[in-house]
């Protein structure tokens, strides 16, 4: 598979601004471990090989266990995730695939038990960002692993 369009070269100013937005999320109220889980789960749901590959490697570099990485797609059945992580994953799924009639109050209230209003807001911006990255990389068939050296992902030890 070859990349259709190199969007970084074709739209450098937009790419830089969106990258700046994504980097600003690193200073949000959401911890890195949850950011990794969210990026992986949304990328799984959207079928984005490039982002899934990138964020699994990033999570590994950040100390995530391999078993938990394997369990992200089955987080509901797994005993490896905390209630806070489960809330973040539930919020990720509902915002990634918006229900026809919006987010149910029951789900929001369950998430609110584990995350503050600011955390839900910050998490929502993270979910928006990964979904946008998924869409551009799926649309332009960005090759998984093609930016590993540029993003320092070779140190994950996964190849």
CATH number at residue 110: 1.20.1290.10
Q: What percent of the chain has pLDDT over 90?
A: 94
> Does residue 55 sit within a domain?
yes
Q: pLDDT averaged over the chain?
A: 96
At 159 the pLDDT is: 72
Q: Which domain holds residue 51?
A: 30-141
Residue 114 within any structural domain of the chain: yes
Per-residue model confidence as pLDDT tens digits over 70-91: 999 999 999 999 999 999 999 9
Whether residue 4 is contained in a domain is answered as no
- Count of structural domains within the chain: 1
The per-residue pLDDT for range 100-134, each reduced to its tens digit, is 999 999 999 999 999 999 999 999 999 999 999 99
Query: Is 146 inside any structural domain?
Result: no
| 85 vs 93: CA distance, rounded Å | 12
**Cα–Cα distance, 105 to 121 (Å, whole number):** 16
Q: Among 81, 42, 52, which Cα is nearest to 65's?
A: 81
Q: Is residue 22 part of a domain?
A: no
DSSP string, 115-156: S-HHHHHHHHHHHHHHHHHHHHHHHTTPPTTTTTTTTTGGGG
Tokens for 147, please give them: 């930016």
Considering only CA atoms, which of 140, 151, 149 is closest in space to residue 2?
Answer: 140
């Amino acid at each position: 598979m070859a990349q259709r369009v190199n969007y970084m070269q074709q739209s450098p100013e937009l790419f830089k601004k969106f990258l700046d937005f994504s980097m600003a999320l690193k200073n949000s109220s959401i911890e890195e471990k949850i950011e990794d889980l969210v990026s992986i789960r949304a990328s799984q749901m959207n079928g984005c090989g490039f982002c899934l590959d990138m964020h699994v490697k990033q999570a590994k570099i950040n100390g995530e266990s391999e078993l938990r990485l394997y369990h992200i797609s089955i987080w509901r059945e797994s005993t490896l995730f905390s209630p806070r992580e489960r809330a973040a994953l539930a919020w990720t799924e509902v915002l990634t695939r918006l229900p026809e009639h919006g987010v149910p109050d029951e789900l929001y209230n369950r998430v609110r038990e584990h995350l503050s209003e600011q955390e839900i807001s910050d998490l929502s911006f993270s979910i928006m960002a990964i979904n946008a990255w998924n869409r551009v990389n799926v649309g332009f068939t960005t090759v998984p692993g093609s930016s590993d050296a540029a993003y320092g992902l070779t140190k994950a030890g996964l190849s």
